[in-house]
Structures are given as C-alpha cells and as structure tokens.
Amino acid sequence: MEPITNDWERAVAFHGHRCPGLAIGYRAAKIALRELAAARAGDEELVAIVETDACGVDALQVLTGCTLGKGNLLYRDYGKHAFTVANRQSGAAVRVAMKSAAWSEDENYRSLRQRVLSGRATPEEEELYAGYQEKRLQHILEAPEEEIFKIEHINLELPEKARLFNSVTCAYCGEQVAEVRARIKNGKIACIPCAENYSRGWGERK
C-alpha cells in the first residue's frame, strides 16, 4: 500500500469514502487552521465546536486534531454545516459555515437520492447519482471559498479542558461509570441505562 501523502487522502482514508459532505469539513478545517495560523493539535491546543454530526466532522478531526476522545471536540445538534475552531493559546476563534447556495438541491436530485438510499434505484440511476455526487464534491473542493463559506472571526468563551473523573461501579450491571454520570436507584449507585424512567405524563425523567 502506498503511503498517504496529503490531508485530503488522509481524511478519505479515515472516513472510508469520498463524498461532498467530507469535502465540506475538509475545506472548512483548512480555512480555520489558516485563519488561526495554527497546526494540528497534538493535545488540546485547539478546540472545535461542530454543529452537525455529518461526514464533514471526520475531516475536521483528521486535520485539526480535535477529537471526542481528547475532549476538544464539542457537538451541538443544530443540523448546520458549521464548524468553529479556537486556539487556546491566542484566544482567537473562527466559525466557518457553508452558504445555502453552495448546497442547492432540485427536486430531481432529491428524488434520485431517495431512490438510491432506499435501494430502489436502477444501475443507471446509481451511476447518475454517483456522477452527480462527484461533480458536487469537486465543486466544493475547487470553488472560491467565498462562494462556498461564510467565514467569521468571533469572540468565544472557551470551554474548560476535558476533566478526568473517578469511576464507580453500577450496583445493577456491575460496569464502571464515571462518577459524574452516575445515578441513585433505590439507594444504590446506578448507571444511566440501569436507572428507571419516571413519568406521570409530563415526559420522562431519569
């Protein structure tokens, strides 16, 4: 196997395939690192806040070194292709968000995508969809960045660094759980899955 020689290939290898969503995160991460004059984080020198759980997050992790495991990747469930990266040392932060015009979808594309994803597409339709996706991917990678993204330097109150917590043992399943996530059930320590739900018609509580 030949060595991976550039950031895009590393992102593709990590994600598993090429796609327009990955390209969005790739370019956003490149822009953020440039704007912050920063390199990939080895520890928690950078922190990223992502507003989607889509493909682009994988590219951002590869390029910025902000990952869930290190605690410097934070997820906000907003459903937006928007990525904020901050430098802890300088305090600078930049938010890179995809413009709506860069991801326009007509009804024919939506119908085709639905058929492909549902497994009902013909081989010809699958080939047509793959070509359409590749065209979108190349546009995202090559178009002027101001056509694709809104780039803003913002003031951001940096979250605290990731903390380590003591572990306790769930009395019901016997598995260890971070103390801060533990519950009490019948006077005993319980993990969240083992804790009972409580409801009186006003929604569930744990």
Are 93 and 154 within 8 A, CB to CB?
yes
- Shared domain for 189 and 89, answered yes or no, is no
CA distance 57 to 48: 10
- Shared domain for 146 and 169, answered yes or no, is no
β 82-87/93-98 pair status: antiparallel
Spatial CB neighbours of 24, under 8 Å, sequence gap ≥ 6: 55, 56, 59, 81, 98, 140, 148
Enclosing domain of residue 202: 164-206
The pTM (predicted TM-score) of the whole model is 0.82
- Shared domain for 44 and 142, answered yes or no, is yes
CA distance 84 to 29: 9
Residue 184 lies in a domain: yes
Per the structure, how many domains does the chain have? 2
Question: What does the pLDDT profile of the chain (206 residues) look like in tens digits?
Answer: 455 569 999 999 999 999 999 999 999 999 999 999 999 999 999 999 999 999 999 999 999 999 999 999 999 999 999 999 999 999 999 999 999 877 767 788 888 889 998 999 999 999 999 998 999 999 999 999 999 999 999 999 988 887 888 999 999 999 999 999 999 999 999 999 999 755 455 454 44
